[in-house]
Amino acid sequence: MPDVTTAAPAANPHLPHYQARGLKGRILSGVQPTGNLHLGNYLGAIRNFARLQHDYECLYCVVDMHAITVWQDPAALSGQTREIASAFLAAGVDGHKHIIFNQSMVPEHAQLAWIFNCVARLGWMNRMTQFKEKAGKDRENVSLGLYAYPALMAADILIYKATHVPVGEDQKQHLELTRDIAIKFNNDFKAPDFFPVTEPLIFGAATRVMSLRDGTKKMSKSDPSDFSRINLTDDADAIAQKIRRAKTDPFPMPDSAADAEKRPDADNLLGIYAALADMEKDAVILEYAGRQFSDFKAALTELAVTKLGPVGAEMQRLMKDPGHVDRILHEGAERARAIAAPILAETYKIVGFLQP
Ligand code: AQP
């Protein structure tokens, strides 16, 4: 699979440790248990988690502490956490070979996040577009946690000294902040290369899946319209209905990449098709150039049902066995702590904290 990493991994002193074991590095990535897991989360992140597990040592985290930066119903949160863990497993991640856990079970994330709150600068945080979008006009009334979110995300990654993070386009800015925090920590505390400068891994034709109702807006869990997204747990009928009602324009299918680029709704559907079929978007454009949207939508529905149906069914099966999912999360958390605890201890020493 092509690997569209934004920058070449310049002589990273953390890599030889993995290369000696035939691996490319260590991955950490997370998904929030905020309900309505959708096609964008799958194509932008979760599907890649499974594809990367052969080349990297992987930690995949259900980031429940990030989720509560906006209100979550406590009665629903544990079920939503199991749903995300089930999605990781259903997508094919090996929960025994790799580590699947939920963030709040590993307190070292929060402990390192406090140090990073003291390293990150207000000016850096003020530039974060996700905060601006999520806070909107209600800025005075959102949680302090929503503002500090990117420092916790940096801690999620660096508490394992992860070398790579697979994410969708929308998380690129937060990854850049993580890199800035690592560099500033290493400089301020005269600890050269202590934290790695983590590389983003951004893959494929659907790094930013857009809403089915508005091709200029990201597909998102919090969109009030369920018709804006395909949920991973949608059945074949729901998928068909959502694709049929997906917004298009009155013209035939685009006949070139330049034409598609000017038509965001069509471009989005083409990108989704390409990603699901593991094809280049240009090849899909060529195949459907000038045809009716109804033909294309029928083909897209069939493809989406074929590819997503088994994942959704396996998720449903796993969610009926919460004991199994909980065991994977507990074991994962223990293994994660075995990596995180010594890194935190070393960090505390570097910072000058007296320890027992
Ligand atoms: N539309 C998307 N296209 C491609 N990738 C996406 N991701 C999210 N939306 C898209 C990627 O999914 C991973 C997990 O995301 P998250 O749940 O932790 O956070 P998010 O980005 O806030 O997800 P949503 O769906 O957009 O939720 P709300 O509506 O709450 O804001 C990340 O790797 C992300 O890049």
Q: pLDDT at position 207, please? A: 81
The contacts of residue 147 (CB under 8 Å, 6+ apart) are 125, 131, 135
Among 167, 170, 174, 230, say which to mutate for ligand 1: greatest number of ligand atoms within 8 Å of CB: 170
164-166 and 199-202 beta bridge pairing:
parallel
Of 253, 202, 210, the C-alpha closest to 230 is 210
Residue 38 is given by DSSP the state B
Ligand 1 binding pocket includes 231 (Cβ within 6 Å): no
Q: Virtual CA dihedral for 204, 208, 214, 220, nearest 10 degrees? A: 130
Ligand 1 binding pocket includes 208 (Cβ within 6 Å): yes
78 backbone dihedrals φ, ψ, rounded to 5°: -65, -40
Ligand 1 binding pocket includes 222 (Cβ within 6 Å): yes
pLDDT per 10-residue tile (average), the chain, 356 residues: 46 88 95 93 91 96 97 96 97 96 98 98 96 89 96 98 88 95 98 96 82 95 94 95 96 95 96 95 95 96 96 96 97 98 98 94
Of 279, 345, 328, 267, the C-alpha closest to 61 is 328
194 backbone dihedrals φ, ψ, rounded to 5°: -60, -55
Q: pLDDT at position 203, please? A: 74
